[in-house]
């Protein structure tokens, strides 16, 4: 899409890291951008909102290592805008809070380029909130200040009025201050702030790696040094820090700090991802299966033509429902075509998918396995009844076999196939090497076997890597496949549903010493 307003620049705040803290307007801008100029702190997940073909330019700074100078960034933005692009300058937090957004806006104003500012959720407020620290409180303080900690107070003249700041403001929030913490603490105490004032230092706030260290002002510098806490971090000084003891909600969530890989197909993963994320996990979406149509529609078309002849239509997966109904529609039919048949669903998600298509399933077994369906169906007279099973190409044979033993005439029809996606595995491998993945979840046998195959040439090495990562499988069949392929399985829920799997994962991590790696891997607390 070309923009309706050529040469427009949006200075957009991306928030402190939690994807949920991106504003609706920021997302809209990212979706519309021809060019995205972004920083290190902006969550890379946001780039996925960019439209295909948008130009992505990284100008981030990390640990003082600048890929471009501020002047170069300014020039780049002006040039991009002049070439007629809709430019989004994406910045961490809020663009006008220590983000040099002001300077960039001045540059645009001077160049006569129209711009808009999209405020973001600043880390100065959000990060303390995620550490359970309200910046003001009626019983404690009515004032708060945001201060740069970047300035070295021992060198030259300070632009910060320490003598006023130290005792004149209740809560002090320092950004970019970790390196200078000893000086900051010293300055504040030298100007009258009590060494007993509680302080919190919060690193990588609002994301799974959030780490908080607290202590009194007089000791915080060496505590932080001892814990090895590095930038980026927010420092909060003031009585409000003591509220964290009761208000620390984020770090207390059951899956806080756990990094979990979800290998489900992209179309199906969202519910599971949302559940894990709500419980505090940092999820990595790494689909190891892709769902595609069958090589030929001919068998399914034939079954659709003959639908009247079937006594039962049994769906064994959400995908089966989806492809069946899409094909039905493509043949000019709808749910009414099933009026003569009884319809069964294995599993609550499959049942839900049927309901969404206007079919209330006649059968949903209490247990969500093929074996259980046969048992329930066993009570029905199946002699001579035709049963249609629209399902995946390589599915298990047990169900049709058992049905046939009970006298049914079963047509197993391929409604879809699952294939292995072409995917770059570098990031996941790197994280596995560093012991940064706590758990990998598998929701079908092919998610496991494809996972293994996706790391070419290094299967043995991968198995080795996996020793430091826990494995969760949705049911015993998936678990058996995983074990056969050399993984040791830590979590299998009693019911084979995503809810039960989520619950089992929470239970697993609530046990002391649940982690496979006895020692914390490098870089993780």
- Provide the annotated active-site residues: 39, 61, 176
Least distance CB 61 / ligand SAH (angstroms): 9
Q: Which two tokens stand for residue 46?
A: 């946001």
Region binding ligand SAH by CB under 6 A among candidate stretches 199-207, 333-341, 356-364, 431-439: 199-207
Query: Terminus-to-terminus CA distance in the chain, angstroms?
Result: 44
59 vs 349 by CB, closer to ligand SAH? 59
For residue 293, the SS3 value is: coil
Q: Restricting to residues 438-497, name those near ligand SAH by CB under 6 A.
A: none
Q: What is the widest separation between alpha-carbon atoms in the chain?
A: 94
For residue 525, the SS3 value is: coil
Region binding ligand SAH by CB under 6 A among candidate stretches 85-93, 214-222, 277-285, 408-416: 85-93
Among 46, 73, 92, 133, binds ligand SAH (CB under 6 A): 92
Among 47, 57, 111, 231, binds ligand SAH (CB under 6 A): 231
Least distance CB 90 / ligand SAH (angstroms): 11
- The whole-angstrom separation of Cα 55 and Cα 3 is 14
Q: Is 204 in the site for ligand SAH (CB under 6 A)?
A: yes
Q: Which residue is nearest to ligand SAH (CB)?
A: 93
Task: State the DSSP string of 143-191.
Answer: -EEEEES-S-TTSS--SS-HHHHHHH-SEEEEES-GGGHHHHHHHHHHT
- List Cα–Cα distances, 277 to 92, 238, 270, 439, in angstroms: 21, 31, 10, 14
Sign of CA pseudo-dihedral 352, 353, 359, 364: negative
Least distance CB 205 / ligand SAH (angstroms): 3
151 vs 380 by CB, closer to ligand SAH? 151
Q: Which of 478, 477, 450, 482 is nearest to 466 (CA)?
A: 482
Among 128, 198, 205, 294, binds ligand SAH (CB under 6 A): 205
Neighbour-count burial of 231, counting CB atoms closer than 10 A to its CB (0-12 exposed, 13-18 middle, 19+ buried): middle
Q: Is 123 in the site for ligand SAH (CB under 6 A)?
A: yes
232 vs 294 by CB, closer to ligand SAH? 232
176 vs 485 by CB, closer to ligand SAH? 176
**Region for 135 from its dihedrals, namely left if φ exceeds 0, alpha if ψ lies in -120 to 50, beta otherwise:** alpha
125 vs 303 by CB, closer to ligand SAH? 125
Give the rounded distance of the alpha carbon of 121 from its chain centre.
19
Region binding ligand SAH by CB under 6 A among candidate stretches 94-102, 111-119, 330-338, 339-347: 94-102
What track of x and - describes contact with ligand SAH for positions 336 through 365 (by CB under 6 A)? ------------------------------
Among 9, 42, 93, 451, binds ligand SAH (CB under 6 A): 93
Among 86, 90, 135, 233, binds ligand SAH (CB under 6 A): 233
Q: Which of 197, 234, 194 is nearest to 213 (CA)?
A: 234
Q: C-alpha angle 440/443/447, rounded to 5°?
A: 75
Residue 9 forms beta bridges with which residues?
A: 87, 115
206 vs 502 by CB, closer to ligand SAH? 206
Region binding ligand SAH by CB under 6 A among candidate stretches 30-38, 226-234, 282-290, 381-389: 226-234
What track of x and - describes contact with ligand SAH for positions 150 through 189 (by CB under 6 A)? -------------------------xx-------------
Q: What are phi and psi of 156, to 5 degrees?
A: 55, -160
Among 7, 198, 232, 361, binds ligand SAH (CB under 6 A): 232
Among 77, 97, 364, 479, binds ligand SAH (CB under 6 A): 97
Among 14, 26, 81, 94, binds ligand SAH (CB under 6 A): 94
Q: Restricting to residues 12-51, name those near ligand SAH by CB under 6 A.
A: 16-17, 41
Region binding ligand SAH by CB under 6 A among candidate stretches 88-96, 322-330, 349-357, 457-465: 88-96
Which string of b and e fits 288-323 if b means at least 16 CB within 10 Å?
bbbbeebeebeebeebbeebeebbbbbbbbbbbbbb
Number of residues that bind ligand SAH (CB under 6 A): 25
Among 43, 74, 122, 444, binds ligand SAH (CB under 6 A): 122
Q: Which of 331, 345, 132 is nearest to 242 (CA)?
A: 132
Q: What are phi and psi of 209, to 5 degrees?
A: -85, 5
Region binding ligand SAH by CB under 6 A among candidate stretches 202-210, 308-316, 428-436, 492-500: 202-210
- The whole-angstrom separation of Cα 6 and Cα 114 is 9
**Contact footprint for ligand SAH (CB under 6 A):** 16-17, 41, 91-94, 97-99, 122-124, 127, 175-176, 202-206, 231-234
């Amino acid at each position: 899409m070309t923009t309706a307003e050529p040469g427009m620049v949006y200075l957009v705040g991306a928030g402190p890291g939690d994807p949920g803290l991106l504003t609706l307007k920021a997302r809209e801008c990212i979706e519309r951008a021809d060019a995205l100029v972004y920083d290190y702190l902006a969550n890379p997940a946001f780039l996925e909102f960019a439209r295909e073909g948008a130009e992505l330019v990284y100008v981030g700074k990390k640990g003082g290592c600048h890929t471009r100078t501020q002047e170069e960034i300014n020039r780049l933005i002006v040039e991009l805008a002049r070439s007629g692009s809709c430019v989004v300058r994406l910045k961490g937090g809020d663009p006008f809070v220590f983000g040099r957004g002001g300077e960039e806006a001045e540059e645009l104003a001077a160049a006569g380029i129209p711009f808009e500012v999209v405020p973001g959720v600043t880390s100065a407020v959000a990060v303390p909130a995620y550490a359970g620290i309200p910046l003001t409180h009626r019983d404690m303080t009515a004032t708060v200040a945001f201060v740069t900690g970047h300035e070295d107070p021992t060198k030259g003249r300070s632009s910060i009025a320490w003598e006023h700041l130290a005792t004149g403001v209740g809560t002090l929030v320092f950004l970019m201050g970790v390196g200078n913490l000893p000086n900051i603490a010293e300055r504040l105490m030298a100007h009258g702030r009590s060494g007993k004032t509680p302080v919190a230092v919060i690193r990588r706030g609002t994301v799974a790696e959030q780490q908080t260290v607290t202590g009194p002002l007089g000791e915080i510098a060496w505590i932080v040094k001892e814990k090895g806490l590095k930038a980026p971090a927010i420092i909060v000084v003031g009585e409000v820090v003591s509220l964290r003891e009761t208000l620390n909600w984020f770090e207390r969530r059951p899956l806080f700090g756990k990094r979990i890989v979800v290998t489900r197909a992209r179309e199906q993963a969202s519910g599971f991802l949302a559940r894990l994320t709500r419980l505090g996990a940092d999820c990595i979406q790494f689909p190891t299966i892709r769902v595609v149509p069958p090589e030929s529609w001919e068998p399914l078309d034939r079954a659709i033509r003959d639908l009247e002849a079937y006594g039962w239509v049994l769906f064994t997966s959400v995908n089966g429902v989806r492809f069946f109904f899409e094909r039905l529609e493509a043949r000019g039919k709808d749910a009414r075509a099933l009026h003569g048949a009884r319809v069964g669903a294995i599993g609550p998600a499959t049942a839900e998918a049927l309901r969404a298509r206007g079919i209330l399933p006649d059968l949903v077994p209490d247990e969500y396995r093929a074996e259980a369906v046969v048992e329930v169906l066993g009570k029905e007279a199946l002699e001579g009844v035709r049963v249609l099973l629209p399902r995946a190409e390589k599915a298990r044979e047990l169900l049709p076999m058992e049905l046939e033993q009970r006298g049914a005439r079963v047509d197993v029809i391929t409604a879809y196939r699952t294939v292995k996606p072409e995917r770059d595995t570098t990031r996941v491998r790197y994280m596995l090497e560093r012991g940064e993945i706590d758990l990998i979840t598998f929701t079908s046998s092919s998610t496991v076997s494809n996972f293994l195959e996706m790391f070419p040439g290094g299967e043995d090495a991968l198995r080795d890597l996996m020793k430091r990562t826990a494995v969760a499988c949705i049911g015993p069949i998936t678990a058996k496949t995983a074990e056969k392929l050399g993984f040791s399985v830590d979590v299998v829920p009693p019911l084979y549903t995503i809810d039960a799997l989520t619950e089992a994962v929470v239970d697993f991590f609530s046990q002391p010493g649940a982690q496979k790696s006895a020692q914390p891997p490098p870089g993780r607390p």
